[in-house]
Amino acid sequence: MMTEIGQAAKQASRILRRTDRASKDAALLLMADRLLERKEDIQKENKRDLSLARGMGLASAMMDRLTLDDKTLKSMADGLREVAALPDPVGEVAGMWKRPSGLMVGRVRIPLGVIGFIYESRPNVTVDAAALCLKSGNSVILKGGSEAINSNMILEKILKEALIETGMPERAVQVVPTTDREAVRALLGLDQYVDIVIPRGGEGLIRYVVENSRIPVLKHYKGVCHIYVDEFADLAMASDVCFNAKVQRPGVCNAMETMLVHEKAAREFLPEMGKRFQKAGVELRGCPRTLEIIPYAKSAVESDWPAEFLDLILAVKVVSDMDEALDHIERYGSNHTEAIITKDYNRSRRFIAEVDSSLVLVNASTRFNDGFQLGLGAEIGINTSKLHAFGPMGLEELTTTKFIAYGDGQLRD
């Protein structure tokens, strides 16, 4: 079954790669209309998933993420319209130059081809991912969580109807119609048809995909994000930024997990910052020098430094100088997002130059590492490996370039 799905996706991609923007946008806009028109059908299937999940005792946070209420459907339709409004990256000529031979050589942006998208729970991701892949000229094979299978199947049906009605290839969007986990393994072996796999979910899912895939994988394992409060920081700004980075939404990958404080700032900064965190329910786990200043913090253990807490927990370390902060980030960081708070020009430059993360910020919250916030217009995931696209991936990151050359009979000597 998976081989047939792979072949169909490949064939659809051959049509998609030469489909113009107007046709793709028409399909996206019709999908948005149909999602709202077919609300009852969708919610009926979604209720089947919800009642099965309730029977299996799914946690209430998971139930929330599984639910397609009116508000979620509205935001899914809005998302489709927003993607339709974004520029089409395909066909953009990224430079053209003339060679001594007279050959005109250029690079033109093309779709990747077929994308395998593997994710957990939330059925709204089915529509988001389909929209981004379609707009960038790729066909997509979607393997969602087993608890969302009925919701995903009805969503696929509606998306396909819109594809057919607008003259697009029906198999451009395919949901794997099974909850069998073996289907994931089979998908990961389709290197003949699938160009790239993007997993989205917990560390376990991502590790499974990386270890079993013969197809290149774009992924991030975890975000262990640091803010370094320099000796020359504006401490009021440092307090606001660190508070925002930890507390505004602690369960996401770009939240701060470790705060590094220069020893010359620590005595003035930590007592008030500690109180502010304490009030917000943040559990602090400090190094010995932190505990001297805020004795109510817990003592940090080695495993706290590389931890992605995804919770109201923060590791805190006092460092003797900037080198110690950079070494700590190099050793324990995840190449995701790091920020420095400083008023010193040279230190800001050094931090930007030396920190090896997908986003490096000066005087701003780590929470900005997100395709929308950085201005990419969309986001299908964040990549913390350096290949292809480092950091948040928008439409352009779902494409590549090929070389083109115009000649008049050029030969190699």
| Contact residues: its own copies, CB under 8 A | 14, 17-18, 97, 99, 101, 103, 105, 108, 110, 112-113, 195-196, 210-211, 214, 216, 234, 237, 240-241, 244, 248-249, 330, 348, 352-354, 356-365, 367-369, 373-375, 385-392, 400-413
**C-alpha dihedral over 185, 188, 190, 193, to 10 degrees?**
140
The pair of three-digit structure tokens given for residue 217, joined into one six-digit string? 């994988």
**Which residue lies nearer to its own copies by CB, 288 or 407?**
407
**Taking the complex as a whole, how short is the minimal distance between the CB of residue 389 and its own copies, in angstroms?**
8
**Taking the complex as a whole, how short is the minimal distance between the CB of residue 38 and its own copies, in angstroms?**
33
**C-alpha dihedral over 207, 209, 212, 217, to 10 degrees?**
-110
129: closest CA among 187, 218, 198, 177? 198
**Taking the complex as a whole, how short is the minimal distance between the CB of residue 411 and its own copies, in angstroms?**
4
**Taking the complex as a whole, how short is the minimal distance between the CB of residue 360 and its own copies, in angstroms?**
5
**Which residue lies nearer to its own copies by CB, 1 or 96?**
96
**Which residue lies nearer to its own copies by CB, 50 or 390?**
390
**Which residue lies nearer to its own copies by CB, 109 or 160?**
109
The phi and psi torsions of 312 (rounded to 5 degrees) equal: -80, 65
What distance lies between CA 395 and its chain's CA centroid?
12
- As a whole number of angstroms, the distance between CA 276 and CA 91 comes to 51
Over its C-alpha atoms, the chain yields an Rg (Å, rounded) of 24
401: closest CA among 97, 83, 106, 103? 106
- As a whole number of angstroms, the distance between CA 393 and CA 359 comes to 12
**Which residue lies nearer to its own copies by CB, 66 or 398?**
398
Angle at 202 between CA 382 and CA 340, to 5 degrees: 45
**Taking the complex as a whole, how short is the minimal distance between the CB of residue 94 and its own copies, in angstroms?**
11
**Which residue lies nearer to its own copies by CB, 53 or 361?**
361
Q: What is the DSSP letter of 304?
A: G
**Which residue lies nearer to its own copies by CB, 135 or 246?**
246
Check: CB of residue 5 under 8 Å from CB of residue 100.
no
Query: For the sheet containing 283-286, what is the strand order?
Result: 298-299, 283-286, 313-319, 256-262, 225-229, 337-341
21-37 and 124-135 helices, crossing angle to 10°:
160
- As a whole number of angstroms, the distance between CA 180 and CA 171 comes to 21
- Do the strands 93-98 and 104-111 form a parallel or antiparallel pair, or are they unpaired? antiparallel
**Which residue lies nearer to its own copies by CB, 95 or 295?**
95
**Which residue lies nearer to its own copies by CB, 158 or 340?**
340
**Taking the complex as a whole, how short is the minimal distance between the CB of residue 53 and its own copies, in angstroms?**
31
**Which residue lies nearer to its own copies by CB, 30 or 198?**
198
**Taking the complex as a whole, how short is the minimal distance between the CB of residue 337 and its own copies, in angstroms?**
9
Check: CB of residue 375 under 8 Å from CB of residue 359.
no
**Taking the complex as a whole, how short is the minimal distance between the CB of residue 189 and its own copies, in angstroms?**
12
The pair of three-digit structure tokens given for residue 49, joined into one six-digit string? 């998933």
328: closest CA among 354, 352, 299? 354
**Taking the complex as a whole, how short is the minimal distance between the CB of residue 240 and its own copies, in angstroms?**
6
**Taking the complex as a whole, how short is the minimal distance between the CB of residue 101 and its own copies, in angstroms?**
8
The answer for 154, left when phi > 0, alpha when psi is -120 to 50, beta otherwise, is alpha
